[in-house]
Structure 1
Amino acid sequence: MDSSAESVLLADSPYHNPVLNIGDDSKKQKIREILKGFILSVSKVKKIVDVFSEEMRLGLEANPSRKSCFYMANTFVTDYPDGTEDCDVLAMDIGGSNLRVMLCRLKPGTEPEFRVQHYELTADQRSGTSAEQFFDQLAKNIGDFISKNPDISDKRLPLGFTFSFGYEQLALDKSKILQMGIQTNFPDAYGKCAVQFLRDAIARQGVNVDVISIANDVTTTLMYGMYLKPETYVSYILGSGMNAGYLEKVDRIGRIDPLKTFDKPVESIIVNTECGFLGDDGAIDYVKTRWDMELDEESMIPHSYGFEKLVGAFFFGDLIRRSLLTLAENQLFVGGLITDALKQKDSIKAPDASLVENDKSDDFVTKLLQRLGYTSAQITKDDIEIVKYVCSQIAVRNAQLIAANIASVVDRIDKPFIRVAIDGSFYKKHPKLHTLITDFIVELVPNNKKVELFLADDGSGKGSALIAAVAVKQRQKS
């Protein structure tokens, strides 16, 4: 592989370095010049790997030379399912737009049974002003689920809670249940943890459950991945947002004294990196385009979650829209005609990009442009090819950045074969991301390591049930 500053990964492959298929060379050159910020050199990608590695190292040190931008949070998950679990547990998985409540029935020697119910979280609920009302709604949903499953209605069941919504810090109570503090626009939320909010709401609603564990989705996905496949040491979330977790040896965590922290010898724990904050200090501005900067400035929390905004699906579609708008402003796309829809924020979303990548007949691209207000007569073959090129080019950059992130995590694991469990709708539904990320990782990790990515579908919820089941088993032993 050519490692010069101007070379790119897998330079000879049009799959990994998209080609703009239009006949006008002058127009092609102008388009590529405007969009060149999305093309990352080998040196830039490798620099991202190094920056990730440095932030992880600093985040684990007892006395770092400076504070890491990662939390590198101790999840207190030190035990893992081994097939001897024998219990019924509930799990609740809350994300940015939906809520899942599930029953997990575990019996030794049999496949686990999962029953899942989805509940919508409305925009008002997600952006309301009362944390108490928000958690009351969650408790009501749990109660509704129990009422629809009469075979568990007379039991007091343990509940595992996956909470990956609106938090910025971690706390731990004396009973050593991981509690994820929340920093949100709820004015009554500060200083109180999510578990206590949920327990109080459950008591108010008269729901017969016992909250015994809480973790975020990257932790639960790793737990589920470990359950599904051996040699799974890393987890990754790639949906609206992103995060990475992995299994770390305790003796490599300078700020942890195992006996004081866990009251027992512990070999390894799951670490939640919270690595989406990379770049909040401007350290990776060299991979950002003008459109990335605009999206950040206009976001709910500017200058925060910098890396997450680069690769998460939440911003992906509008990054495409803004790029196309700029090309139209430069008379290089749809004849310079700019519709109200093309100017409207989020009129293109990540699922649209996935469908574009899957479109073999150009039918969907045509329908997308028509949805944006263009008539069939206004849409040319060049316009269709430009949409496809923009979607592919931004997907490639996403994959390179994610591969750099995963490569840096893999580098910390002293194993020749490492599986990475991935959950999230963006990874699941985009037709190219799995292959792109896999191939770029091969280019970035040493030859003596093999990395395999796999979908741990619904891992954030099912893993939460497994964490609760392990907690039940620990209680039974003690």
Structure 2
Amino acid sequence: MQRQASMDDDDISTIHVDGIPPDTLTQVKSYLDPFVLSLDVLQQISTRLERDLKRGLGKHSHHKAAVQMLPTFVTATPDGTEKGDFLALDLGGTNFRVLHVRVLEEEQKVVKMDGKICAIPMEMMRGPGQQLFDHIAACLGDFLKSQNLLGKVLPLGFTFSFPCNQKEIDKSILIRWTKGFQCSGVEGQDVVKLLREAIHRRGDYDVGSIAMVNDTVGTMMSCGYRDQSCEIGMIIGTGTNACYMEEMKNVKRVESDLGRMCINTEWGGFGDRGSLADIQTEFDVQVDKASVNPGVHIFEKMISGMYMGEIVRFLLVKMTNDGLLFNGRTSNTLLSPGGFQTKYISEIEEETAGLQKCETILSGMGLEWDPVDVPVVRMVCDTVSSRSARLCAAALATVTNRMRLSRGLRHLKTTVGVDGSVYRKHPNFSAELQATVRRLAPECDVTYLLSEDGSGKGAAMVTAVAQRLARESRLLDDSEEGDSDDDDQD
């Protein structure tokens, strides 16, 4: 049962359903039809998102916008001349990474030096904020010691993958925690300041300038060093988000009309004000209500890796309780939150071994399955992941269409730097997303570039670009000063 690549006018993807008897298939479709989104519906969703993007960019409307469109103060992408040694910290999930990155201009490449991964225990994710930042500072200190870098003061790129109101490149206020974090005393605070304070509490090392980076920005900047046409960063993994280079004239909350600035869309919040209520299924509502932040990040909960498995689980529970699956008998695992992991979806949808893996997964969950149950479960997985790819594509097409129109172009050629486990590991997701974008943004020629450790290298690239711009500014000032002296002599 593979997804069909061809598209028609009404439904851009067809799901094959081999091995399911017609009567059973009719019943299964009654559960899954609400997940099947036509091209027309996707275009409507894109129109709604475009309205939200404009609202988020507005000087007076952004306070109430579901899609927050946060300025990042990153005003340029790499041009290949960046160079130097940098530190990178990456906090965006249950693991925290430290990297030493060396950028070599003469070889036009980024060399990642040694890195270290530190786990963040669940109790620390929900404990006092000071404890979390002390843990980050300790991990960084141990890394610097292991690399004999304690005596060096290096610039630091800090990837912090949570919604923040960025005031400057080195000042960023946490709006709210996501991804299961609930540390007290951090929301409403400047996370760069909290990091510096934790480093100073240790007293055994220091860092130079700090550039605050969202993971999408890091992905864009990392890929931008390899492909200078990369002006979009997109993550579809545990969560989902995107950034892109917006015309400054449209960023009403920043006092400048010149050039471009990278905007962190925080598109996971799309739908938080009810704009997706008509396409939310009863299972989406269940997932939202069971989450740690009900009513928040509705779009993310419909498509990302943290929630996709739960959508499938709720579907399977409902179908089992209605007698359509497993002879009406559930199991403790199926009834437990997280009992059906999102990674199972990717494994079950593999072309060759998917059905066999499905059997193994269902048995491991304590379910007594009949042969027909296996392709039905696969069809459920296929439908849920297909909707995820289409919704993500609708959002990406909205961004590319906006860039094209804002720049007054008939045709836009751009590259999207992409990262995230769903995009990387699902066997069909990337192909379906790309095909859908082509349908929804036909005047845009979009290339997709997988990030190579985007969050870490990208954070270093942001600091590298900032230093490059500062050097260029100093040279320009010196040049103008020299011209002024010449004028005086005349």
TM-score (norm 1): 0.90
- For residues 326-405 of structure 1, what are the structure 2 equivalents within 5 Å? 326-358=318-350, 360-361=352-353, 362-374=355-367, 378-405=368-395
Provide the C-alpha distance between the structure 1 equivalents of 2:195 and 2:23, rounded to a whole number of angstroms.
60
Conserved 8 A contact 2:154-2:207: yes
Q: 1:348 to 1:359 in 2, by over 3 A?
A: farther
Equivalent position to 1:10, from 7, 10, 35: 7
Equivalent position to 1:204, from 198, 201, 205: 201
Q: 1:11 to 1:333 in 2, by over 3 A?
A: farther
Q: Which secondary structure state, in structure 1, belongs to the residue aligned with residue 54 of structure 2?
A: helix
Residues 92-116 of structure 1: per-residue CA shift (max 9 Å, x gap):
0101211111011112122221022
Q: 1:63 to 1:267 in 2, by over 3 A?
A: same
Equivalent position to 2:231, from 225, 230, 233: 233
Residues 147-170 of structure 1: per-residue CA shift (max 9 Å, x gap):
2212x33311111101014x4x41
Conserved 8 A contact 2:389-2:429: yes
Bigger shift: 214-223 or 309-318? 214-223
Provide the C-alpha distance between the structure 2 equivalents of 1:47 and 1:409, rounded to a whole number of angstroms.
14
Residues 151-204 of structure 1: per-residue CA shift (max 9 Å, x gap):
x33311111101014x4x41425xx52424254543422442100100000011
1:160 counterpart = 2:152: no
Provide the C-alpha distance between the structure 2 equivalents of 1:9 and 1:282, rounded to a whole number of angstroms.
32
Q: Cα RMSD (Å) of the superposition?
A: 2.2
Bigger shift: 40-49 or 92-101? 40-49
Q: 1:64 to 1:134 in 2, by over 3 A?
A: closer
Q: Which secondary structure state, in structure 2, belongs to the residue aligned with residue 256 of structure 1?
A: coil
1:449 counterpart = 2:447: no
- For residues 150-189 of structure 1, what are the structure 2 equivalents within 5 Å? 150=148, 152-165=149-162, 167=163, 169-172=164-167, 177-184=170-177, 185-189=182-186
Report the equivalent of 1:297: 289
Residues 388-446 of structure 1: per-residue CA shift (max 9 Å, x gap):
11111111100110010000000112252121111112211111111010011111113
- Offset at residue 13 of structure 1 (A): 11
Report the equivalent of 1:262: none
Report the equivalent of 1:89: 86
Equivalent position to 2:427, from 431, 449, 463: 431
Residues 182-234 of structure 1: per-residue CA shift (max 9 Å, x gap):
54543422442100100000011223323421021111111112112132121
Conserved 8 A contact 2:77-2:465: yes
Provide the C-alpha distance between the structure 1 equivalents of 2:462 and 2:14, rounded to a whole number of angstroms.
41
Q: 1:273 to 1:190 in 2, by over 3 A?
A: closer
Q: 1:450 to 1:473 in 2, by over 3 A?
A: closer
- Report the residue type matching 1:315 in the other structure: Y
- Report the residue type matching 1:293 in the other structure: V
- Report the residue type matching 2:139 in the other structure: N
- Offset at residue 242 of structure 1 (A): 0.5
Report the equivalent of 1:141: 139
- Offset at residue 345 of structure 1 (A): 1.2
Q: 1:46 to 1:14 in 2, by over 3 A?
A: closer
Flag structure 1 segments of 5+ consecutive residues without an equivalent.
Answer: 1-7, 260-265
* Sequence identity percentage: 29
Equivalent position to 1:58, from 48, 52, 55: 55
Flag structure 2 segments of 5+ consecutive residues without an equivalent.
Answer: 405-410, 475-490
Aligned length: 455
1:29 counterpart = 2:26: yes
Bigger shift: 100-109 or 202-211? 202-211
Report the equivalent of 2:260: 268
Provide the C-alpha distance between the structure 2 equivalents of 1:45 and 1:12, rounded to a whole number of angstroms.
12
- Offset at residue 127 of structure 1 (A): 1.3
